[in-house]
Amino acid sequence: MTDNKFIAASVQASPVFLDKDKTIKKVSKLIKEAKKNGASLVVFPEAFIPTYPFWPKDLGFGSERKLVMDAQMELFKNSVEIPGRDIEKISKTAKKENIHVVIGVNERDGGTLYNTIVYIDNDGSLIGKHRKLMSIDSEKCIWGNGKAEDVNVFNTKLGKIGGLFCYEHHLTLQKYAMIQMGEQIHTGLWGGHGFAKNTMDFSSKQYAFEGQTFVIISSIYIDEDMIPDSFPLKDQTVWDYPGGSGIINPRGEYIAGPVYDKEEIVYGEIDLDQILRAKAIIDSAGHFSRPDIFNFEIKK
């Protein structure tokens, strides 16, 4: 490998449902597996620790409402603080394996939960984080919104890495902000919803082509058999989460995946020179941006 080439790993897996400690152990195991197979970067799905909140978020009042609140409390208790001891465990594994890690977590801050991407360097240091700017549908019952400082791209030894969650890929100005920041490696973290299967595919390919970036899609895969019978909202939830993880080049073409209906780590070679070839045709933050006509500002 040259300095411009490395192997990226996209994890498609299920968390150990609502169990932070066991999920972190699984994360450590998957990091080691990715490194063993030559990866320099490993990406995990949205809200992987301790799970994406798949269940109905608002069932009205009375006994069903209590079940929703019970699930919310379990999610909160098994969420992580940033920085904190739980992130340190993952950082130690990253340092030991000499690998960059990007992972989606439920972050607790005071009494509020956030849907957060955590970036960890190969030396185990916490590079930064991104809180989801805008949740969709009933997610608004779970997570608070990020702020301007959550629009970010991070410099690493591998290149400029950024990331978004699922339908943030349709938050058009946020996308352009990251393109303008020079993002080269985009991590797209998804919950794996079956209804979003087609959206995950076309929005990821469009992001790669429009931004001249590599896109690493990491999605949860989970089915009903993975959910303990003790979970009170199991029967009220439609467990349709087939995944769709893969890796896409700056021309909008899959170089690995997409993968559905199973747990798997997807691997692909990232060659940053391909970005220069794509930008020779379309450079969305350069000669294709027309700054003489358009002006863009991030209100930080």
Which residues are the active-site residues? Answer: 46, 132, 166
How many helices and strands in the chain, by DSSP H and E?
Answer: 6, 12
Q: Are 184 and 160 in contact (CB under 8 A)?
A: yes
Q: Are 191 and 199 in contact (CB under 8 A)?
A: no
Kindly write down the DSSP assignment for every residue of 237-276, as one continuous string.
S---B-EEEEEE-TTS-EEEEEEESS-EEEEEEEETHHHH
| C-alpha to C-alpha distance for 27 and 261, rounded to whole angstroms | 20
| C-alpha to C-alpha distance for 185 and 8, rounded to whole angstroms | 10
Among the listed residues 97, 173, 170, 144, the one whose alpha carbon sits nearest the alpha carbon of residue 188: 170
Strands (E), the chain: 5-12, 39-43, 100-109, 112-120, 126-131, 154-155, 160-165, 185-190, 214-219, 243-248, 254-260, 264-271
| C-alpha to C-alpha distance for 4 and 7, rounded to whole angstroms | 11
φ, ψ (nearest 5 deg) of residue 201: -70, -55
- The answer to whether the peptide bond before residue 15 is cis (omega within 30 degrees of 0) is no
